[in-house]
Amino acid sequence: CGVFGLYAPGEDVAKLTYFGLYALQHRGQESAGIATFEGEQVHLHKEMGLVSQVFNESILQNMPGTIAVGHTRYSTTGSSRVVNAQPAVVDTRLGALALAHNGNLVNTTELREQLLQTETQLLTTTDSEMIAHAIAEAVNAGSGWVEGAIEAFHRCQGAFSLVIGTPEGLIGARDPNGIRPLVIGTLPGPSADEPPRYVLSSETCGLDIIGADYLRDVEPGELVWITDAGLSSFRWAAPATRKLCIFEMIYFARPDSVMSEESLYSYRLRLGRQLAIESPADVDLIMGVPDSGVPAAIGFSQESGISYAEGLIKNRYVGRTFIQPTQTMRESGIRMKLNPLKDVLNGKRILIVDDSIVRGTTSRKIVKALRDAGATEVHMRISSPPVTHPCFYGIDTDSQDQLIAATKSIEEIAAQIGVDSLAYLSWEGMLKATGEDPESFCSACFTGDYPVPVPELVKRSKLI
Ligand code: 5GP
Ligand code: SF4
Ligand code: MG
């Protein structure tokens, strides 16, 4: 999911949030929503669909306020229905709160039971609504906004990057491991002698689009509270090791987003270079699977000296296939999406680079399309290791039995997708390319080593 928020009296906060969400569209395409706070009053609009389908000028014009929270969703818990769209708005004794969540809690069963024992009425099946209600419970029991949020966070286990609007101010927070990203930006004040206004976004591309400057990340285990007095920071959890999702770096986040002072495009180029060192091939052309495989393919081409070419043209207006919830939709998705260039491919030995193989369905179709277009050999290189384990922290990789590498060897996968050769990047190579401490990333979908303990029952629901 994508989360966004800002505190900016005097600005058109709904419109700025709309643009922020537009830049975060890749993080979720099922539903979109914005809540604005005009004092105590909340204006909420959320619907199924893309940001551009859910909002128009007149809807945004009817959402005045000084604080806004926005969300783009794809479902990891709870079904794909409008009631599950976010922000989740819940009333408290201090007024309403509007919460946008990216990530996935692992202790929802327990939390749900606890919440249902009290007055709380849960309207949806999402973990995000549970967090909102846990905050409301604490606030209704006498806590203020910050205190109440912190009490609630202590009841949550798993991944959560949150943006929460209240009548008094805006909260941004990350779980103690900082599994999902969240950044802070500033917008210049209305005049030079006035202080800046603060923006929160899943990724820096959400800041760029509204002309905000990147200030810093919300730290793992940190809560920031943004009001007319500026930004104050609370360490709500003892510092733990950061465990940023490596899949954000490899695939999920936009390549123009910056993490650890570098665009993910540059990181993905290095993944491709490393891949070329580890698994070279004698071919005529290097291609990337658009769009996610392209940076690594360019890196592979730079390192190997073999020309890079486009051999598949993507229809940019068809969503990411993996976000659509059913297999049937996924299968029809890919045919709409990529069209091979026959005159580029005909008679050539092709090496195609992708960022990952999950179910293997995309790869198989692409390889067939390349051969049908006249490629004489098709080799595949993947800029991450085999995905062998499901994610419990907010990336929709399905259950383990859906993951092709969970049950098949690399040779078997190569045969199934129909390539002449197949190689994956090593786990060490993927982490080395980050230039950071390997311990500061979650890479559980490649290893099964889950950094935040997942309850046995939850594990069993997705593991073979
Ligand atoms: P598959 O092998 O499942 O057919 O699709 C792999 C393609 O989906 C890759 O091009 C990759 O960019 C993209 N992908 C990346 N992450 C995910 C994910 O979490 N789930 C799915 N299904 N696809 C993903
Ligand atoms: Fe990211 Fe994989 Fe860890 Fe999930 S299991 S948080 S996708 S690295
Ligand atoms: Mg892809």
Q: Is the pLDDT of residue 78 over 80?
A: no
Of 232 and 78, the one with more pLDDT:
232
Tell me: do 153 and 24 sit in the same domain: yes
Of 188 and 32, the one with more pLDDT:
32
Ligand 1 pocket test target in 264, 314, 358 with most atoms within 8 Å of CB: 358
CB 265 within 8 A of CB 298: no
Nearest CA to ligand 2 atom 4: 391
Q: How many CA atoms lie within 13 A of 89 on its CB side?
A: 19
Give the pLDDT score at 327: 66
The stretches of 218-263 forming alpha helices (DSSP H) are 246-247
Complex ipTM, two decimals? 0.91
Task: Let me know if residue 64 belongs to a domain.
Answer: yes
CB 213 within 8 A of CB 199: no
Q: Which helix (H) or strand (E) holds 380?
A: strand 377-382
Task: Write phi, then psi, for 344 (nearest 5 degrees).
Answer: -80, -35
Tell me: do 315 and 195 sit in the same domain: no
pLDDT band at 246 (very low <50, low <70, confident <90, very high): very high
Give the pLDDT score at 317: 73
- Helix, strand, coil percentages in the chain from 3-state DSSP, rounded to 5: 35, 25, 40
Please tell me if the CB atom of residue 454 comes closer than 6 angstroms to any atom of ligand 2: no
What number is the average pLDDT over the span 151-170? Answer: 98
Show the domain range for 158. Answer: 2-240
| Burial (Cβ within 10 Å: 0-12, 13-18, ≥19) of residue 191 | exposed
Residues contributing to the annotated binding site for [4Fe-4S] cluster: 245, 391, 442, 445
Of 240 and 424, the one with more pLDDT:
424
Tell me: do 85 and 166 sit in the same domain: yes
Please tell me if the CB atom of residue 361 comes closer than 6 angstroms to any atom of ligand 2: no
Atom of ligand 1 nearest to the CA of 395: 19
Q: What is the CATH number of the domain that holds 273?
A: 3.40.50.2020
Please report, as a single letter, which amino acid is at residue 19: F
Task: Write phi, then psi, for 175 (nearest 5 degrees).
Answer: -65, 165
Task: Let me know if residue 446 belongs to a domain.
Answer: no
Tell me: do 186 and 319 sit in the same domain: no
Q: Which ligand lies nearest the alpha carbon of 358? A: 1
Q: How far is the CA of 365 from the centre of ligand 3 (A)?
A: 12
CB 137 within 8 A of CB 91: no
Give the pLDDT score at 321: 46
Please tell me if the CB atom of residue 15 comes closer than 6 angstroms to any atom of ligand 1: no
Integer Cα distance of 100 and 131 in angstroms: 10
Q: How far is the CA of 252 from the centre of ligand 1 (A)?
A: 10
Atom of ligand 2 nearest to the CA of 444: 5
Nearest CA to ligand 2 atom 6: 245
Residue 204 CA: distances (Å) to CA of 209, 343, 392 = 9, 38, 24
Q: How far is the CA of 103 from the centre of ligand 2 (A)?
A: 10
| Selection from 139, 142, 195 nearest residue 171 by Cα | 139
What percent of the chain is modeled with pLDDT above 90?
84
CB 199 within 8 A of CB 214: no
Domain boundary among 240, 255, 286: 240
| Selection from 190, 195, 201, 181 nearest residue 227 by Cα | 195
Q: Is the pLDDT of residue 378 over 70?
A: yes
Atom of ligand 2 nearest to the CA of 397: 7
pLDDT tens digits, residue range 341-357?
999 999 999 999 999 99
Q: How far is the CA of 254 from the centre of ligand 2 (A)?
A: 16
Q: Which ligand lies nearest the alpha carbon of 246? A: 2
Task: Let me know if residue 452 belongs to a domain.
Answer: no
Q: How high does pLDDT run on average in the chain?
A: 93
Domain boundary among 240, 256, 290: 240
| Burial (Cβ within 10 Å: 0-12, 13-18, ≥19) of residue 19 | middle
Two tokens, residue 267 = 């990181």
What number is the average pLDDT over the span 296-320? Answer: 90
Give the pLDDT score at 335: 61
Of 190 and 462, the one with more pLDDT:
462
Strand arrangement of the beta sheet that strand 213-217 belongs to: 41-48, 31-38, 67-73, 2-7, 197-201, 183-187, 213-217
Integer Cα distance of 422 and 120 in angstroms: 52
pLDDT tens digits, residue range 357-370?
999 988 998 999 99
Q: How far is the CA of 258 from the centre of ligand 3 (A)?
A: 20
Task: Provide the phi-psi class of 227: left if phi over 0, else alpha when psi is between -120 and 50, else beta.
Answer: beta
Task: Let me know if residue 154 belongs to a domain.
Answer: yes
Task: Provide the phi-psi class of 158: left if phi over 0, else alpha when psi is between -120 and 50, else beta.
Answer: left
| Burial (Cβ within 10 Å: 0-12, 13-18, ≥19) of residue 372 | exposed
Q: Is the pLDDT of residue 165 over 80?
A: yes
Please tell me if the CB atom of residue 393 comes closer than 6 angstroms to any atom of ligand 1: no
Ligand 1 pocket test target in 1, 287, 312, 322 with most atoms within 8 Å of CB: 322
Q: Which ligand lies nearest the alpha carbon of 450? A: 2
Two tokens, residue 241 = 């090791």
Residues contributing to the annotated binding site for Mg(2+): 292, 354-355
- Looking up tokens 């500026």, which residue turns up? 230
Q: Is the pLDDT of residue 2 over 60?
A: yes
Q: Is the pLDDT of residue 239 over 80?
A: no
Q: How far is the CA of 291 from the centre of ligand 3 (A)?
A: 6
pLDDT tens digits, residue range 16-39?
999 999 999 999 999 999 999 999
Please report, as a single letter, which amino acid is at residue 58: S
Ligand 1 pocket test target in 245, 324, 362 with most atoms within 8 Å of CB: 362
CB 41 within 8 A of CB 21: no
Atom of ligand 1 nearest to the CA of 292: 12
Strands (E) located in 62-109: 67-73, 88-92, 95-102
Q: Is the pLDDT of residue 334 over 60?
A: no
What number is the average pLDDT over the span 169-192? Answer: 95
Q: Is the pLDDT of residue 326 over 70?
A: no
Nearest CA to ligand 1 atom 6: 357
Tell me: do 270 and 236 sit in the same domain: no
Task: Write phi, then psi, for 33 (nearest 5 degrees).
Answer: -160, 150
Q: Is the pLDDT of residue 240 over 90?
A: no
The total domain count for the chain is 2
Tell me: do 274 and 359 sit in the same domain: yes
Task: Let me know if residue 441 belongs to a domain.
Answer: no
Tell me: do 91 and 144 sit in the same domain: yes
- Least confident piece of the model among 20-34, 65-79, 267-281: 65-79
Cite the active site residues: 1
Q: What is the CATH number of the domain that holds 193?
A: 3.60.20.10
pLDDT band at 243 (very low <50, low <70, confident <90, very high): very high
Q: Is the pLDDT of residue 329 over 70?
A: no
pLDDT band at 330 (very low <50, low <70, confident <90, very high): low
CB 381 within 8 A of CB 281: yes
CB 6 within 8 A of CB 197: yes
Tell me: do 270 and 230 sit in the same domain: no
pLDDT band at 192 (very low <50, low <70, confident <90, very high): confident
pLDDT band at 322 (very low <50, low <70, confident <90, very high): very low
Q: Is the pLDDT of residue 193 over 90?
A: no
Task: Let me know if residue 247 belongs to a domain.
Answer: no
Domain boundary among 240, 257, 283: 240
Give the pLDDT score at 104: 96
Task: Let me know if residue 258 belongs to a domain.
Answer: no
Atom of ligand 1 nearest to the CA of 354: 10
Tell me: do 170 and 116 sit in the same domain: yes
CB 27 within 8 A of CB 394: no
DSSP three-state, residue 181: coil
Tell me: do 275 and 408 sit in the same domain: yes
Please tell me if the CB atom of residue 396 comes closer than 6 angstroms to any atom of ligand 1: yes
What number is the average pLDDT over the span 298-320? Answer: 89
Q: How far is the CA of 292 from the centre of ligand 1 (A)?
A: 9
Integer Cα distance of 344 and 371 in angstroms: 12
Give the pLDDT score at 255: 98
Nearest CA to ligand 1 atom 21: 322
Tell me: do 234 and 293 sit in the same domain: no
Of 292 and 78, the one with more pLDDT:
292
Two tokens, residue 300 = 């592979």
The DSSP line for 307-323 is PB---EEE-TTSPPGGG
Task: Let me know if residue 261 belongs to a domain.
Answer: no
Tell me: do 72 and 128 sit in the same domain: yes
